Amino acid sequence: MKISFLIPVLNYEPTLAETVQRLRDVCTSEEAEILIVFDVTRPECLGQVEPQRADLTTKFDARSFVRLNERGFGSALRYAADQARGDVVVPIMADLSDDVSVVPAMRERISAGADVVAGARYIKGGRIVGDTPKQRLSLLYSWLIVAMSEIKCRDISNSFKMYRRDVWQAVNAQAGSFDLSAELTVKAAVLGYRVEQLPATWVNRQVGKSNFRLVRELWHYGRWAAIGVLCLPARWLVVAGLGLPLFVKRVARRRIFASGHVRAAGSYATALLSDTAQGELDDR
């Protein structure tokens, strides 16, 4: 099974070479191809990017692409996946945050029948080094979706996942930004693909600059949560959805009886009926 590692880089990442080296430590060129998509929005970075591309090809057999004046984490990964030739694809961040030692175990899970294998920080054995409020929000995001849908992945927003390439293509993702990982995971589950998870350690960026803008991303992520919850509601939600109207009806009936209105209406009806019967007798 051949792997395609997809690395998005915005302008320049000082830890890119080390990221690629770590990938080559776990997979040879026969086992995996490495595709890098540089989005260069700052022209002064081209001078650094071009020699680095040549160096990465010579040393690590990495293929790279440059998009000028175009950007988007999701669109860069989708672009890389379109060039991929492997059986599975794995997005890898160039800031050394992903735990590439998990890759062989992910491959085994795919061989055993999984369609998507998530590197999960929020399950036993997984962890975060350098926690920030953003990570806590991502934990809450996955927790809410898992509680309200049937998706079996406790780390929906983490980009570090192995996807069968045909599953990636079948999902036909549209996200251009960081929410691509959530879109792929949620839609794969909705389409009935098997989503599994393995514990992974995630290390927060030590050098360079984060490109993630929280407020801008909230809406992007929200729409995939809504799709997951609407298309795959958790069993307890379905039960509650059916049970709630029955419960409300029962409570309402008890309250109406307790209020005495029913008894009053009953006595009124009895009196009315007996008056009518008496009237009929009188007429005879």
Ligand X SMILES: Nc1nc2c(ncn2[C@@H]2O[C@H](COP(=O)(O)OP(=O)(O)OP(=O)(O)O)[C@@H](O)[C@H]2O)c(=O)[nH]1
Interface with Mg ion (CB under 5 A):
95, 97, 205
Q: How near is the Cβ of 212 to Mg ion at its closest, in Å?
A: 7
76 contacts ligand X (rule: CB under 6 A): yes
206 contacts ligand X (rule: CB under 6 A): no
Name beta bridge partners: 37: 8, 65
Contact 41, 124 (CB under 8 A): no
Which residue minimizes CB distance to ligand X? 210
Q: How near is the Cβ of 116 to ligand X at its closest, in Å?
A: 19
8 contacts ligand X (rule: CB under 6 A): yes
9 contacts ligand X (rule: CB under 6 A): yes
Contact 177, 214 (CB under 8 A): no
Q: Which of 205, 221, 225, 228 binds ligand X (CB under 6 A)?
A: 205
Q: How near is the Cβ of 42 to ligand X at its closest, in Å?
A: 12
Query: In Å, what is the CA distance from 200 to each residue of 73, 112, 123, 159, 240?
Result: 21, 19, 9, 12, 34
For the record, the structure tokens of 5 come out as 């590692």
Is residue 196 helix, strand or coil? strand
> Helices 46-60 and 16-26 sit at what angle, rounded to 10 degrees?
20
For the record, the structure tokens of 141 come out as 């995001």
If the CB atoms of residues 95 and 196 are measured against Mg ion, the closer one turns out to be 95
Q: How near is the Cβ of 13 to Mg ion at its closest, in Å?
A: 9
**What does the binding site for ligand X look like in residue numbers (CB under 6 A)?**
8-10, 13, 37, 39, 71-73, 76, 93-95, 97, 178, 204-205, 210-212
